[in-house]
Structure 1
Amino acid sequence: MFSKTVEYAIRAMIFIAQKSKKGIKVGIKEIAKATDAPEYFIGKILQDLSRKGLVQSLKGPTGGFYLEEESSNCSLADIVKAIDGNKLFTGCGLGLKSCSEIKPCPIHNEFKKVREDIYNMLEDARIGEFSKKLEKKLTFLRRK
């Protein structure tokens, strides 16, 4: 459902939020290892998210990536939009360019409801909420 870039971005943001809660800034190597993602790719993704204000970074020996309080309240929908735009929430289920209310594709009405449900679920899911589940080992970010 998500692009690989969005998958890595979400996992990285959750990991960074978990560390930021403890006042820790994390480097790309640690993020990549913890989220089972390619280091170079994570670096590019985090640069982009940093430019868009979703994650903060600090250079130098005590630097790394971190989330300020308001950033940990960003939704998964915010991350999806920052990386891939609105296509997941507005695109045609069949990939048609001209699908609309006036000229719908065969699955337009059914897919519209699915898109709305996905958007609402991702908008309600806040990055900061995942830390507790990770700490209790109810969820995980890395495949073993």
Structure 2
Amino acid sequence: MLSNACKYAIRAIVYLAIHSSVDKKLRAKEIAGELEVPQPFLAQLLRKLTTNKLVSSSKGPGGGFYLDQSNRENALWEVVTSIDGEYKFDDCFLGLSKCNNENPCPVHHIVSPFKEEILRNFKDKSISVLAEEMEKNGMVISLKGIDLS
């Protein structure tokens, strides 16, 4: 449902919410290393998120990316629309070009309620709330350093 770019952007913004502040800025290379994502691609995404005022940044020595309080209050939906656009949740689960309540695909009635719930959660949940939930519940945004054997 979400593009890889959008998934990387969400992971990066949550990482920033947990590990950065106005006084502690992070470089794209450091974030990419921790999240195990391609650094040039992540840098491009972070620049786009900065342009859309979802991430803050500063240049020069000691510069980097961080989230200020207003960035933290953005909804997860803002990240999705910034990277993938608003249409992402309108796409048919089976890939049909015309699929809606009037012209449903064979699984529309099964998938539609879940898409609506996900959309509602993305619109209602702020970055700061998501980061707090992740820390509280021990959720991960990277498998780096985790023994899976």
TM-score range, shorter chain: 0.7 to 0.9
Task: Spell out structure 1 runs of 4+ moving beyond 3 A.
Answer: 130-137
* Residue of structure 1 in register with 2:113 after alignment: 113
| 2:22–2:66 CA contact under 8 A, matched in 1 | no
Q: CA deviation at 1:90?
A: 1.6
Partner deviation per Cα, 1:55-83 (whole Å, 9 max, x = no partner): 11111112111112111012222211111
Deviation per CA, 1:27-70, whole angstroms, max 9, x where unpaired?
Answer: 11111112111111110111111111111111111211111211
SS in 2 for 1:115: helix
**Structure 2 vs 1, CA of residues 140 and 22 (structure 1 numbering), >3 Å: closer, same or farther?**
farther
Q: Distance in 1 between matches of 2:82 and 2:54?
A: 9
| Aligned length, in residue pairs | 144
What TM-score, normalized by structure 2, do the two folds share? Answer: 0.83
Calculate the aligned-residue CA RMSD, in Å.
2.1
Q: 1:60 to 1:9 in 2, by over 3 A?
A: same
- Unaligned segments of structure 2, at least 5 residues: 145-149
- Percent sequence identity is 35
Structure 1 residues not aligned, in runs of 5+: none
Mean Cα displacement is larger for which, 51-60 or 129-138? 129-138
Distance (whole Å) between structure 2 residues aligned to residue 114 and residue 134 of structure 1: 21
